[in-house]
Structure 1
């Protein structure tokens, strides 16, 4: 079975974001199931595809809103309004339908599409009706846009997010309706997309690496708590604001919190132990230097890959209930609470008595469930061809 994996950004091997980590896990699982996978999409500027023999590149594009100029942002908004597309999909319209169709034809004979998230599929929606498809919903994007609108500080931004929510709901409905099968990354997302039936969808349990991280007997603890993320992404920003405004004030003055990743200039903390360290060269080494990991998601859909990585590494954690969406198993050294005062107390208790666990069992469980879900989806996509893999 030959599949064309249509995605906004093709893998470049860096795994710099949760989206890229999820894509790598899904593509690896498809190949373990026996499928040949050709990826089509864009690259980041200056970052070539990591698997050029199995990748069709449409061009280079930087879709990050936070680093774009004001002129670029206005151009994206204008393109979105004139085309009737979402803001995210309009960013990808740097090539025409005919150019994408010609690129698809270069893939040769294939059996179906894997439409990876709504951005690319929404930008070139009319091109994917000639073969059966599987739709991968990384998030319920229209719900995230609604939450972003509610949290927006300005009227223009609020109106823009409301427009995104309206358009995204329609696109997601069409992609789910046309797909032979839908994969989500959290159980809660299946009914939210109207595909709760087992004949229509399944959850993909994810991993952050092909092999379970090696456990070490000793860790060097450099701080009490560490957080890392793309804080310019609105759902992550909402969680960070909750943590800094509601939890941190309850922490002792000498409790040391390090926050890595790009942080908007408006994000500050007066707590003497909070330090913003920017980008770090090794994300895993950074979190392994903390006594406990706060898992602080309060908005968005899909799965929190930072939660999965924390569990794979066996690190102690304190998590909101929202941080555990899409995850069936919680290790013994994870405390769950949505109360800010209790969250702060649990962080201090975990930092005072560091208790790691072996995360390899969690990793094996995730891989086994991921592979089973992928096989189910491939059977729905093309039952006749899939018999060869049985």
Structure 2
């Protein structure tokens, strides 16, 4: 999926090679193991189909939260954070800048934090580069945007947004692996719907609700611990 989404020929070749090498390792691991854990249902389905792994389970992933929630004054309407120099993440930013941002009202402020953000095109966005505290940055936006359009596996950024109760708008691919999507996360696929959801979140903001996020995250942590204990007891 990552290889197909890459815009540059050499990146497609590199990702395709990595996919072939990983597939070979997975086949060896599947043949030797008697039980497997998966990070998403899609991974489990592919393993059963391609690797003939019939004994396994999908872990409900959670985020390792600190003891105290982070609270901050609102500095920006819309915030994005990530490693923007990583091509699959950059693809999502390109989609956001080209197709979503032109549909947003000009008065809405957009801040982008993280490695590589300083190299993004100038214009509507404020490029912050690396920030000292990612959670403090997210606590200071009315809504976070997750414009993921490429990649596989679980997105740690989405887990953190859900676990901290941060209002966010994500593509369907951005919430991959979450069997339960919390109310704080809205899913929008098209640029029109994505922009509309962001506008709605800014004009009718929901409060950051770390207590609800903590409860969602803790339920997943307990479920994961129970599943691991049951599997180990069975082995």
Q: Bin the TM-score by the shorter chain.
A: 0.7 to 0.9
Task: Tell me what 1:158 maps to.
Answer: 12
Structure 1 position 209 matched with structure 2 position 42: no
Query: What is the CA–CA distance in structure 1 between the aligned matches of 2:183 and 2:106, rounded to whole Å?
Result: 28
Is the 8 Å Cα contact of residues 76 and 110 (structure 2) preserved in structure 1?
A: yes
User: Equivalent of 2:154, from 300, 303, 318?
Assistant: 303
Residue 362 of structure 1 deviates from its aligned partner by 0.4
Contact map agreement 1:316 1:333 (CA 8 A) in 2: yes
Give 2:182's aligned residue.
Answer: 331
Is the 8 Å Cα contact of residues 75 and 140 (structure 2) preserved in structure 1? yes
Which entry has the higher C-alpha Rg, 1 or 2?
A: 1
With normalisation by structure 2, the TM-score equals 0.87
Equivalent in the alignment of 1:285 = 136
Shift of 1:371: 0.8
Cα gap change, 1:205 to 1:212, in 2 (>3 Å)? farther
Structure-2 residue corresponding to 1:352: 203
- 2:92 is matched with 239
State how many pairs are aligned. 231
Which of 355, 369, 375 in structure 1 is aligned with 2:223?
Answer: 369
Distance 1:232 1:247 in 2: 20
Match of 2:28 among 166, 169, 174: 174
Using the TM superposition, give the Cα deviation of residue 150 of structure 1 relative to its aligned residue in structure 2, in angstroms: 4.2
Distance in 2 between residues matched to 1:164 and 1:227, nearest whole Å: 28
Match of 1:120 in 2: none
Equivalents in 1 of 2:24, 2:171: separation in Å?
30
Consecutive unaligned residues in structure 2, runs of 5 or more: none
Q: Distance in 1 between matches of 2:11 and 2:53?
A: 37
Q: Which residue of 2 aligns with 1:188?
A: 42
**How far is the alpha carbon of 1:181 from its aligned partner?**
2.0
Which fold has the larger relative contact order, with Cα–Cα distance below 8 Å and residues 6 or more apart in sequence? 2
Deviation of the 1:301 alpha carbon: 1.4
Find the aligned partners of 1:337 and 1:230 in 2 and give their Cα distance.
22
SS in 2 for 1:284: helix
The residue that corresponds to 2:77 in the other structure is 224
Within 5 Å, give how 1:101-116 maps onto structure 2.
none
Helix, strand or coil: the match of 1:225? strand
**Given the superposition, is the C-alpha separation of residues 233 and 379 from structure 1 closer, same or farther in structure 2, using an over 3 Å criterion?**
farther
| SS across alignment from 1:294 | strand
Judged with a 3 Å threshold, the aligned counterparts in structure 2 of structure 1 residues 150 and 285 are, in CA distance, closer, same or farther, namely: closer
Structure 1 stretches of 5 or more lacking a match? Answer: 1-145, 384-390
Would the aligned equivalents of 2:83 and 2:114 in 1 still touch at CA under 8 Å? yes
- The answer (yes or no) to whether the contact 1:149–1:159 under 8 Å persists in 2 is no
